[in-house]
Amino acid sequence: MAITTRKLDNHDSQAIEKLLLDKLNTSVTFLSNFRRAGVDYSSKIYSGDYFGCFENSKLIGLIAHYWNGMIAIQAEQGLQELLSLLLKSTNRPVSGLIGPNNATQQIKKLLFSDESNIQLNDNSVTYCLELSNLVIPKKLSSGDVIARKLEEKDLELFCQWMLKYSNEALNAKTNQTLKQAWEKSARLALREDSTWVLECEKQLVSTCSINAKTIEAIGVGSVWTPLEYRSREYGRSVLAAALFDCWSNKIPKAILFTQADNKAAQNCYNSLGFKQVDEYRLVLCKQEVKFQI
């Protein structure tokens, strides 16, 4: 059957919702961005240009080029056609790729023949948890540690932590641009009330953030504990506190992605009740790339 592609608009909103909900385990951030900003690109946070792949007028896949340069992928067919259409239409730089492993690998091969500008090419596993099955760590339930939302007084230390997180997890190099980006992101996290910290004896020891939120599920972003505080159940405790708050607000499910070779993180998530359900891939560029089509 013939496959066609085109730029999506508001008339496609219902079809976009259905596709992303059907693929929620690998689309929660996609769905969250779409519901926050709609289908029209405005250069504002969460907005993007959306492109769809159709089979007999049915939307079967899509990709989006977001405000931050990232290309998000949720398609199995017509990838080359979708990518070509996106690059011709948006005329904006690309900073990376994110989506299900196989499709993202294919797009990477089409887009980046030169690996020298690749900062991160991360094969991840997708974990899901029905929040009614959340296992609360003893350290948290006993009161040995206290979890709370990020506050203004925490921002300086939080930014320092996120720079180290970027170095360790994203292969990023600390520079003024990265510092400014995290200062801006920290302010956003404070406004959106999307980040938790953990205290032990009044000392901050761990943090986690929610980077996507819908009525169906939340997407967990960074979970990070400084090296000197690891192996003490702090990471799982702060994450459990965040997940419990989400469950208390009637959100039934949590989804996260972690590096396939990060056994410590996987042990943490398994202990809370998460189950592996899929594979994911994140590709980041050292420098944004603008393609001439």
Q: Is 205 helix (H, G, I), strand (E, B) or coil?
A: strand
C-alpha pair distances (Å), 94 with each of 26, 60, 112, 184, 242:
21, 24, 11, 20, 32
Give the CA distances from residue 34 to residues 20, 68, 74, 158, 171, in Å, rounded to whole numbers and listed in that order: 10, 14, 13, 28, 28
- Condensed to tens digits (0 to 9), the pLDDT of residues 71-128 reads 999 999 999 999 999 999 999 999 999 999 999 999 999 999 889 999 999 999 999 9
The token pair that represents 73 in the structure block: 């992928």
Buried/exposed 1-30: b ≥16 CB within 10 Å, e otherwise: eeeebeebeeebeebbeebbeebbbbbbbb
Residues of each domain in the chain carrying CATH 3.40.630.30 = 3-111, 129-281
Q: What is the mean pLDDT of each run of 10 residues along the chain (293 residues)?
A: 91 97 96 97 96 96 97 96 96 96 96 92 96 97 97 97 96 95 95 97 97 97 96 97 97 96 94 96 94 73
Nearest to 65 by CA among 110, 20, 17, 8: 8
Q: What CATH number belongs to 3-111? A: 3.40.630.30
Q: Which CATH class is domain 129-281?
A: alpha beta
